[in-house]
A and B are shown apart, each in its own frame.
Chain A
Amino acid sequence: MTSFALAETSIAEAARRRKRRRRALVWTARALTLLVILGGWEFFADKKIVDPFFYGQPSGIFDQLKKWVEHGTAYGSIWLQIWVTLKEALLGFVYGVAGGVVFGVALGQVRFLADVLGPYIKIVNALPRIVLGSIFFVAFGLGTTSKVLLASVLVFFVVFFNAFQGVREVDRNLVANARVLGASRWQVIRNVVLPSALVWIIASLHVAFGFSIIGAIVGEFLGAQKGLGLVIATSQNNFNPDGVFGAMVIIGVIALTAEAFIEQLERRLLAWRPPSPTESGLA
């Protein structure tokens, strides 16, 4: 090997080593952070400096989770509660996203529609939408329908505004080019408007899924026969903070898993994008 090639391989080798070392360091620091928080919580709760009656205790939360897994909750197995909440959140997510995209693209495309409906959408968006949960509860009762509706309303607005903005930001040049090449209005939407709005829409999905879980949990809180929201409400009424935190841990795991799926989707749908320097740094 020439000294030139040697120098190049050694540089690549060094960069790889640096990257490995950095990753190990990041993970160690993450583990330490968790240890300090949980350990500190447990320690102060043990010493009664933080009252476990109000704020729970990591060991108590762990015991609670174990109990749920082994003996189930008052409303059936914990897996059933998770499934019910997840189903409501997912359905709400799907309906909300579909509605948001359709309305966002339609209003983004048809100026007249946007001008007419714009103020009303702003008014509805300004209302505290959680309150709608009460109305849905009264109208649709204890079943899943009221939760799905609340979740989809929350999701709708997030996706709608992003889709609308995405459509508005479409490069005029691309539209003109497609038209000259012979595209009909529908072909322009399908081939130019939707793909370029997709960047905005997908960015909104991260927030939207969080909202769909909030919708489902709050809906269950207001009145339900099953679900994690009900488990939380019951724990609260029994002065059982470990139960509340335990349900929070479960929800956190669900949200993180969903986030991973959305990231996968994003990577697949936006594979055409040039890699940006900030993204490669975060991985």
Chain B
Amino acid sequence: MLQERPTTAQDPADARIELEGVTKRFLTPAGEPFTALYDVNLVVDPGQFCAIVGPTGCGKSTTLTLVSGLDRQSAGVVRVGGQPVDGIARGTSFVFQADALMPWKTVLGNVAMGPIFHGVPKKTAHIAARDWLRRVGLAGFENHHPHQLSGGMRKRVALASALINEPSILLMDEPFGALDVQTKAIMSNELLALWEQTRPSVIFVTHDLEEAIALADRVVVMTVGPGTVKDVYEIDLPRPRGAVQEIRFEPRFLELHQQIWESLRDEVERAYARMAGGSR
């Protein structure tokens, strides 16, 4: 990539994510062992936007919890910046699928949480939080509580509170899955604009292929559980991409969509057959 890359808080080399032969097994509540991920190999280069697509229950979200250090793999190695992941590391931010805002804190209090947890004085943290709220277009809502905001606005707060820590790695688990189509498009554009400012490495989990292609540099297709990497596609659409609503009609986009869908379709059908009670 020849574009100018503004420096992040961390050394950009710290932002490489590598998964090598990663397997994750759980015990189900009934005590049955269950393999969520099997032998996953994946590399995300520093500053790269990587989308993971796959049918429901293919271990996409599990991959994120392993990279974030919230959970540990059963086998294999997860490395961030060359170092094996051992617990939660500074420099990694996570945007959850569900609302993860503290309902009792104001919007400002929610965004300022990250710096305050890291020992930044409250006053300084609030100044930074105000700045981030302005960047996500929520100036004037500092003293609102989350329940007073719309779903899209709550997502903006979640984005601001993740980005205020100036992460070199941003993990997103279907962040816009619960939004309506129009709001989702607006949020995707804003996410790209914010990402271009600091260029963290991103893993963006979604089951929406169009969203994945419109946003990402690289799209990873995962198989239905136990999840493993099936195919990896480089998305060579030029950046900045502009409006995600319009890029969908470009010939190259359609071509890529056609290719990746070929690969994804089998997995979706298999997952559907399994859910509908079909045999393996």
Binding site for B on A (CB under 8 A): 171, 173-174, 176-184, 187, 191-192, 195-196, 198, 270, 272-274
Q: Determine if A274 and B90 form an interchain contact, defined as CB atoms under 8 angstroms apart.
A: no
Smallest CB separation, B127 vs chain A (Å):
18
- Nearest CB in chain A: distance from B97 CB, A: 9
Q: List, in ascending order, chain B residues with CB within 8 A of A192's CB.
A: 102
Nearest CB of chain A from residue B163's CB, rounded to whole Å? 11
Give, as a whole number of angstroms, the nearest-CB distance from A194 to chain B.
10
Of B88, B102, B161, the contact of A179 (CB 8 Å cutoff):
B88
Can you list 27 pairs linking A and B with CB atoms under 8 Å apart? A171-B100, A173-B98, A173-B99, A173-B100, A174-B102, A176-B70, A176-B96, A176-B100, A177-B100, A178-B102, A178-B117, A179-B70, A179-B88, A180-B88, A181-B114, A181-B162, A182-B88, A182-B118, A184-B117, A191-B113, A191-B117, A270-B104, A272-B103, A272-B145, A273-B147, A274-B147, A274-B148
CB distance from A174 to the nearest CB of B (A): 6
Tell me the bound Cα distance from A179 to B118 in angstroms.
11
Chain A residues, Cβ within 8 Å of B96: 173, 176-177
Q: A181-B161, A184-B117 are in contact. Are A195 and B104 (CB under 8 A)?
A: yes
Residues of A within 8 A of B90 (CB): 182
Report B83-123 CB contacts with A as 1/0, cut-off 8 Å.
00000101011101011101111000000011001100000
Contacts of A191 in B (CB 8 A): 102, 113, 117
- Name the contact of A180 in the complex, choosing from B94, B118, B147 (C-beta under 8 A): B94
Bound CA–CA A274/B147 (angstroms): 6
Whether B68 sits at the interface, judged by CB under 8 Å, is yes
- Give the chain A neighbours of B104 by CB distance below 8 A: 195-196, 198, 270, 272
When distances are taken between beta carbons in the complex, the residues of chain A under 8 Å from B105 are: 272
Residue B23 lies at the interface, judged by CB distance under 8 Å to chain A: no
What is the CB-to-nearest-CB distance from A217 to chain B, in angstroms, rounded to a whole number?
A: 36
Q: Closest Cβ of chain A: how far from B181's Cβ, in Å? A: 24
Which residues from A are CB-within-8-Å of B145?
272, 274
Across the A-B interface, give the 7 residue pairs with the lowest CB-CB distance, nearest first. A177-B100, A182-B117, A274-B147, A272-B104, A181-B114, A180-B94, A183-B117
B111-147 interface mask toward A, CB cutoff 8 Å, 1 = contact, 0 = none? 0011001100000000000000000000000000101
The A interface, classified by DSSP as helix, strand, loop or mixed, is helix
Interface size bracket, B side = 20 to 34
B73 within 8 A of A: no
CB closest residue in chain A, given B147: A274
Beyond A179-B88, A180-B94, A182-B88: 18 further Cβ-contacts under 8 Å? A173-B100, A174-B102, A176-B100, A178-B102, A178-B117, A179-B70, A180-B88, A180-B92, A181-B93, A181-B114, A181-B117, A181-B162, A181-B165, A191-B113, A195-B104, A198-B104, A272-B105, A274-B147
| Complex interface: chain B residues within 8 A of A176 (CB) | 70, 94, 96, 100
**A273/B103 contact (C-beta < 8 A), A177-B94, A180-B88, A180-B93 known:** yes
A191 to chain B, nearest CB (A): 7
Nearest chain A CB to B204's CB is how many angstroms away?
A: 16
Question: In whole Å, how far is B159's beta carbon from the nearest beta carbon of chain A?
Answer: 13
Please give me the residue from chain A that is nearest to B99 by CB atom. Answer: A173
Cβ of B113 and Cβ of A180 under 8 Å apart?
A: no
CB distance from A182 to the nearest CB of B (A): 4
CB closest chain-B residue, reference A173: B100
Which B residues from 162 to 212 make CB contacts under 8 A with A?
A: 162, 165
Asked if A187 and B102 sit within 8 Å, CB to CB, the answer is no
Most chain-A Cβ atoms within 10 A of its Cβ — which of B70, B113, B147? B113
Q: Complex Cα distance A192/B117, Å?
A: 12
Whether A174 contacts B100 by the Cβ 8 Å rule is yes
Which residues from B are CB-within-8-Å of A173?
Answer: 96, 98-100
Chain A nearest CB from B95 CB (Å) reads: 9
Contact B102 A182 (CB under 8 A): no
The distance in angstroms between the C-alpha atoms of A182 and B94, with both chains bound, is: 11
Contacts of B92 in A (CB 8 A): 180
